[in-house]
Structure 1
Amino acid sequence: MTYSKTCYVKCNGDLKALDVEKLCKQIEDIPELKEILIEEETVSQCLQKNITGVMEIAQKREGRAVVQPENKQDDDMMENSERFTELQGKYDALLKTSETHEVKNHCLQMDFNTCRAKCKLLNRKIDIIQEDKDNLDQKYHDMIREKRPLQGQNDGLQENMLRLQAENNELKEHLRTPISNTSHDALEGYNNMHQKYHDMIRESIKIHKNQQETHLASIIVLEEIITTCQKEITGQQENIKVLQTQNNGLKEDIKTVRVQNSGLQEDIKTVRVQNNGLQEDIKTVRVQNNGLQEDIKKVQGQNDGLQENMLRLRAKNNELKEIKVTLLEQSNRYREYIKTVHIKNNNLKENQQTVQGKNNGLQAREQTVETQSNALNEMSRTNANERPTEASGTQKKPTFWKKVKWFFERKDQFPIVPAHHVSSDQPENIEPEPGCSSWI
């Protein structure tokens, strides 16, 4: 009988490695273990035969037309139907999402076009306001240019009026001075001439006053127009700033709309790709469903023949279950036997350790006794050599007791184990070996 180097034994729910090489001889001597091993080999052979029979049955079943049971086909049909329904739901959801994205894209496109139209309108308003500003600036500069000659004419008229007033004052002073040497006709003619000249001066003064008033009125009107134009220019500048701010906001909105439009286009592309993938999956599922339906038709035709085989196999399965129960009971008994063997094995190990300890103590004592024996033999040989002979006729002084004295003086060099210094593992009734002196 041969043994493997390592045997794995299940003890307390854990697998432990047991090295049986050292104890194989002791285990072979146990009769109960021999019976257990013989029964185990018999059971293993039976199990091997049963497993071989089951494998042959399985191979025969595989050699026949292998068809899935009806329940398995029904499960596959239900699974494919659920998958088809799930894919159809995903497809519908993606269609709705695609339509929603298209509507959002259309709305964003309309908002984008509206923002673009508003931007164009604001740009047109800015251009019109800029043109009005340029026209008002041109009018302002023209009025300033027209104001300068009118201001010059007004200054000239004021100078002429001052000059005429000075001449009028001179004439008045001249009329006040009496003229006695001139004739009455000459004075009257001179007076008439001065009167006409005075009337002409008055008319010219009136004309100059009217012109001055007209120029002042025109200057006031021009100043009012200039003030109005400046206010309009300031208002137009404020409007331009507001429109520019709105234009910047619309530009930001346009950028945002473009970004959203790009994102929606990417989403639409992704949805289309997913839609194509789902359509391919739906086609694949339909093909698989058609194949499964054909397989179901074949299975329904072959199911009747398989029912008999299933009944026969169930009967064999019940027999195998009974055999399995029997084998489990035998296995439980074998486990109990193995536990008993392990207990005995542990006891043998403990006995081996005890014997080993006793053996070590005996070996130590044997070495001590051998050392003492060698010393005594040496002393005996020395005593024999020093004993006087009869032929010599002379007697020498015996030195045996000197040797004994020398031995006791150096007894520390020869350790002696007393009789009571034996370990508990050694037997108590050990007789001294022959050759060992009792006085030691």
Structure 2
Amino acid sequence: MEQERVMAQMTRQRRNACEIRRLNRELETCDRVMTYSKTCYVKCNGDLKALDVEKLCKQIEDIPELKEILIEEETVSQCLQKNITGVMEIAQKREGRAVVQPENKQDDDMMENSERFTELQGKYDALLKTSETHEVKNHCLQMDFNTCRAKCKLLNRKIDIIQEDKDNLDQKYHDMIREKRPLQGQNDGLQENMLRLQAENNELKEHLRTPISNTSHDALEGYNNMHQKYHDMVRESIKIHKNQQETHLASIIVLEEIITTCQKEITGQQENIKVLQTQNNGLKEDIKTVRVQNSGLQEDIKTVRVQNNGLQEDIKKVQGQNDGLQENMLRLRAKNNELKENKVTLLEQSNRYREYIKTVHIKNNNLKENQQTVQGKNNGLQAREQTVETQSNALNEMSRTNANERPTEASGTQKKPTFWKKVKGFFERKDQFPIVPAHHVSSDQPENIEPEPEPGCSSWI
């Protein structure tokens, strides 16, 4: 029976090892999928950055050839206008002369004037025809220019749409990163559980390595119960791992779908970019054709000049407002600096007040300590006064008792003074003793004055 139990435990251990290997393989596949999604996003981001939208806009909007065309056509139109105005003035002068002075001129002059007039009239008619043709061409070029402008606006709109798609892709990437974090936490939890299972497996191996002959039946039953508990714990952890793995795989499938959609969107955007590039090439060719016939842009230039003058006036007004705002800003900055300086001074004053309060507290504490010491000294002095009073009372009583016992002097000899004479002499000469302070006291407390004893007497204190 014991051998069968040991074999069953070994089979359970093998199953646990197989389950751990399977979990390791699944975790490796999850890591591969996450790395693949990250590389796909990096590739998508690189493709979007490689679009160079600003460069495309500059190529569409900034056309250096138009400046040369405008300058050339402006000079041509100015020359034509000068010629037309000159011809009109000459014709008016000739007509006036023909009307006012028809009779004062000779026939030759009239013939010459008529020939010149006919020549000038022909030139004038030719110039009118050329001006009409130029107006027609100008109208056609204006229409072409409007179409080009509309195409440019459409391209700019498409570029804005691409930029919005790029922003959406960035948002999706950030959302994917946010979704990856809990998955990473789950992965870490799975790894920790796997390490725990491996540790339990190692413990089972160590328990299985113990010899059977040396253990008793109760010990084997205890080991069997312990292994059964471990087996139940391993089963529960494996179920939890399976559920977590299923959720992990579902999230990975969702991420793969998102990545495929992003790739499809990127391919569609690349195709749109190719179409835009072809349209841009067509626009360049149209601009090259417009370069040859661009004389009718003079009117637009005049309107632009008028608008530019109005804009310059607006700019002057805005500059005046800006100057006023700058002055207000400088004033506010000066006020702010003053407020900062006031704040600094107030902080310094508050710090000084705090330091002064601290010093006052320290002085107060010192005064309290001095008061306590003085109170103690005063108590000592009062005690000493009480002792002195008691001693003086005792001496008075002794003097009263010994008053009747005064000594008598012999005829040839003189006895030594008795104790009561010494005391009496002390009280008679007490004003002559020097005052010596017992110890240092404060100025507001009275000093304890203690008399010195007489050199011939013993101290009675």
Query: TM-score, with normalisation over the residues of structure 1?
Result: 0.32
Between the aligned partners of 2:35 and 2:212, the Cα distance in structure 1 is 186
CA shift in 2, pair 1:434/1:254, >3 Å:
farther
CA shift in 2, pair 1:334/1:40, >3 Å:
farther
Cα pair 1:77 1:292 within 8 Å, conserved: no
Cα pair 1:43 1:327 within 8 Å, conserved: no
SS in 1 for 2:37: coil
Q: Which shows bigger deviation, 331-340 or 223-232?
A: 331-340
CA shift in 2, pair 1:40/1:21, >3 Å:
farther
Q: Which shows bigger deviation, 416-425 or 131-140?
A: 416-425
Between the aligned partners of 1:369 and 1:192, the Cα distance in structure 2 is 92
Q: Which shows bigger deviation, 99-108 or 365-374?
A: 365-374
Aligned-residue offset at 1:119: 0.7
Which residue pairs with 2:227 in the alignment?
Answer: 194
Cα pair 1:361 1:426 within 8 Å, conserved: no
Aligned-residue offset at 1:129: 0.8
Which residue pairs with 1:414 in the alignment?
Answer: 433
Which residue pairs with 1:81 in the alignment?
Answer: 114
Q: Which shows bigger deviation, 397-406 or 54-63?
A: 397-406
CA shift in 2, pair 1:243/1:149, >3 Å:
same
Aligned-residue offset at 1:103: 2.7
Q: Which shows bigger deviation, 124-133 or 47-56?
A: 47-56
What runs of 5+ residues in structure 2 fail to find an aligned partner?
Answer: 1-33
Between the aligned partners of 1:238 and 1:24, the Cα distance in structure 2 is 17
CA shift in 2, pair 1:113/1:364, >3 Å:
farther
SS in 2 for 1:14: helix
Aligned-residue offset at 1:130: 2.6
Aligned-residue offset at 1:126: 1.4
Aligned-residue offset at 1:415: 202
Residue deviations 1:67-89 (CA, integer Å, cap 9, x gap): 99999999999999999999888
Cα pair 1:108 1:257 within 8 Å, conserved: yes
Residue deviations 1:393-419 (CA, integer Å, cap 9, x gap): 999999999999999999999999999
User: 2:378 matched to 1:353?
Assistant: no
Between the aligned partners of 1:212 and 1:6, the Cα distance in structure 2 is 23
CA shift in 2, pair 1:164/1:365, >3 Å:
closer
Residue deviations 1:298-347 (CA, integer Å, cap 9, x gap): 99999999999999999999999999999999999999999999999999
Residue deviations 1:81-115 (CA, integer Å, cap 9, x gap): 99999988887676555444323311211110110
Residue deviations 1:160-195 (CA, integer Å, cap 9, x gap): 146337637966997999999999999999988876
Between the aligned partners of 1:171 and 1:203, the Cα distance in structure 2 is 17
Between the aligned partners of 1:5 and 1:182, the Cα distance in structure 2 is 56
SS in 1 for 2:54: coil
Q: Which shows bigger deviation, 227-236 or 208-217?
A: 227-236
Residue deviations 1:103-143 (CA, integer Å, cap 9, x gap): 33112111101101211220221132133224324533553
Larger Rg: 1
Between the aligned partners of 1:225 and 1:2, the Cα distance in structure 2 is 14
User: 2:410 matched to 1:386?
Assistant: no
Between the aligned partners of 2:219 and 2:105, the Cα distance in structure 1 is 156
- Percent identity of the aligned residues? 99
CA shift in 2, pair 1:194/1:69, >3 Å:
closer
SS in 1 for 2:421: helix
Which residue pairs with 2:391 in the alignment?
Answer: 372
Aligned-residue offset at 1:218: 1.9
Aligned-residue offset at 1:154: 1.7
What runs of 5+ residues in structure 1 fail to find an aligned partner?
Answer: 263-276
Query: TM-score, with normalisation over the residues of structure 2?
Result: 0.31
Which residue, out of 405, 417, 422, partners 1:403?
422
Aligned-residue offset at 1:260: 1.4
SS in 2 for 1:417: strand
SS in 2 for 1:62: helix
CA shift in 2, pair 1:306/1:388, >3 Å:
same
CA shift in 2, pair 1:290/1:410, >3 Å:
farther
Between the aligned partners of 1:34 and 1:217, the Cα distance in structure 2 is 60
Between the aligned partners of 1:120 and 1:192, the Cα distance in structure 2 is 80
